[in-house]
Amino acid sequence: MNVQFKNAKILKTRDDHGFEIVDGELWVKGNEIFYIGDGKDAEHTDCQDPIVWENPIDCEGNLLIPGFKNAHTHTPMTFLRSYADDMPLQDWLTKQVFPKEAQLTKEDVYWLDILGVMEYLTSGITSNFDMYLFPVENAKAFRDCGFRSVQTSGINNFSYSVKEVEEHYLAINEMGELNSFILGFHAEYTTSKEIMQGIGELAHKYKSPVFLHNAETKREVAECKERWGMTPTALTDALDLYRFGGGGYHMVHMEEADFEIMKKRNLFAVTNPCSNLKLASGIAPIKRYLDENIPLAIGTDGPASNNALDFFREMYLMTALAKVREEDASCVPAEEVLYAATAGGAHAMNLTDCDRLAVGKKADLVMIDLNQPNMQPENNLVKNLVYSGSKSNVKLTMVNGQILYKDHQFRIGFDPKEIYDRANAIISRMN
Amino acid sequence: MNVQFKNAKILKTRDDHGFEIVDGELWVKGNEIFYIGDGKDAEHTDCQDPIVWENPIDCEGNLLIPGFKNAHTHTPMTFLRSYADDMPLQDWLTKQVFPKEAQLTKEDVYWLDILGVMEYLTSGITSNFDMYLFPVENAKAFRDCGFRSVQTSGINNFSYSVKEVEEHYLAINEMGELNSFILGFHAEYTTSKEIMQGIGELAHKYKSPVFLHNAETKREVAECKERWGMTPTALTDALDLYRFGGGGYHMVHMEEADFEIMKKRNLFAVTNPCSNLKLASGIAPIKRYLDENIPLAIGTDGPASNNALDFFREMYLMTALAKVREEDASCVPAEEVLYAATAGGAHAMNLTDCDRLAVGKKADLVMIDLNQPNMQPENNLVKNLVYSGSKSNVKLTMVNGQILYKDHQFRIGFDPKEIYDRANAIISRMN
Preceding peptide of B377 cis, ω within 30°: yes
pLDDT in tens, B183-208: 999 999 999 999 999 999 999 999 99
Same domain, B48 and B93: no
The residue-averaged pLDDT of B258-280 equals 97
CA distance A173 to A18: 33
Which residue range forms the structural domain that includes residue A240? 68-350
Nearest CB to A391: which of B115, B392, B417? B392
A218 shares its domain with A281 = yes
Average pLDDT over residues B281-303: 98
Q: Give the minimum alpha-carbon distance from B260 to chain A in angstroms, rounded to a whole number.
A: 27
Question: Percentage of chain B surpassing pLDDT 70?
Answer: 98
A17 reaches B (C-beta below 8 A): no
pLDDT of B42:
65
B243 touches chain A (CB under 8 A): no
Q: Are residues A72 and A56 in the same domain?
A: no
Report the pLDDT averaged over residues B126-132. 98
Whether residue B428 lies inside any domain: the answer is no
Residue B371 lies in a domain: yes
Distance of alpha carbon B356 from alpha carbon B342, whole angstroms: 7
pLDDT of residue A344: 98
Neighbours of A38 (CB within 10 A): 10
B238 has a pLDDT exceeding 70: yes
Residue B79 pLDDT > 70 = yes
Q: Is residue A355, in this structure, part of any structural domain at all?
A: no
Q: Answer yes or no: do B285 and B327 share one domain.
A: yes
A421, part of any domain: no
A206-220, B85-99, B345-359: segment of lowest average pLDDT: B85-99
Q: Quick check: is A388 in a domain?
A: yes
Total domains, chain A? 2
Both B149 and B239 in one domain: the answer is yes
As a whole number, the mean pLDDT across chain B is 96
Judge contact between B68 and B345, C-beta under 8 A: yes
Residue B43 has pLDDT above 70, yes or no: no
pLDDT score for B48: 60
Distance of alpha carbon B19 from alpha carbon B336, whole angstroms: 10
Question: Do residue A209 and residue A189 come from a single domain?
Answer: yes
Q: Note whether B307 contacts A85, CB cutoff 8 Å.
A: no
Q: Which CATH number do you get for residue A245?
A: 3.20.20.140
* DSSP 8-state code for residue A189: G
Domain boundary among A305, A320, A350: A350
- Chosen domain end from B333, B352, B371: B352
Give the whole-angstrom CA distance, residue A324 versus residue B276. 8
Per-residue pLDDT, A42? 65
Residues A148 and A219 grouped into a single domain? yes
CATH label of the domain that carries residue B48: 2.30.40.10
Alpha helices in B10-134 (DSSP H): 89-91, 98-101, 106-122
Say if residue A136 is in the same domain as residue A103.
yes
Residue B290 pLDDT greater than 70, yes or no = yes
Closest Cα of chain B to A338: distance in Å? 14
Last residue of a domain, one of A298, A328, A350: A350
- ipTM of the complex as predicted: 0.97
pTM as predicted = 0.97
Contact A179, A142 (CB under 8 A): yes
Whether A165 is in a domain gets the answer: yes
DSSP letters spanning A215-239: S-SHHHHHHHHHHHSS-HHHHHHHT
Residue A9 belongs to some domain of the structure: yes
Q: With a cut of 70, list the residues of chain A below it in pLDDT.
A: 42-49
Around A112, how many Cα atoms within 13 Å sit in the side-chain half-sphere? 29
- The minimal CB distance from A278 to the residues B310, B320, B384 is found for B320
Q: What is the mean pLDDT of residues B335-362?
A: 98
H/E run at residue A213 = strand A210-214
**Quick one: pLDDT at residue B33?**
97
Instruction: Based on the fold, state whether residues A46 and A192 are members of the same structural domain.
Output: no
Q: Closest Cα of chain B to A111: distance in Å? A: 12
Q: Is there a single domain that holds both residue A102 and residue A53?
A: no
Q: Are the C-beta atoms of A124 and A366 separated by less than 8 Å?
A: yes
Query: Are B106 and B235 contained in the same domain?
Result: yes
pLDDT of residue A44: 55
Q: Which pLDDT does position A305 carry in this prediction?
A: 92
- What integer pLDDT is reported at residue A43 of this predicted model? 57
Contact A73, A301 (CB under 8 A): yes
Instruction: Tell whether B125 lies on the interface with A, counting CB pairs under 8 A.
Output: no
Q: Are residues B102 and B197 in the same domain?
A: yes
Q: Are B92 and B307 in contact (CB under 8 A)?
A: no
pLDDT at position B307 over 70: yes
CA-nearest residue to B393 within chain A is: A392
pLDDT of residue B49: 66
Q: Is residue B422 part of a domain?
A: no
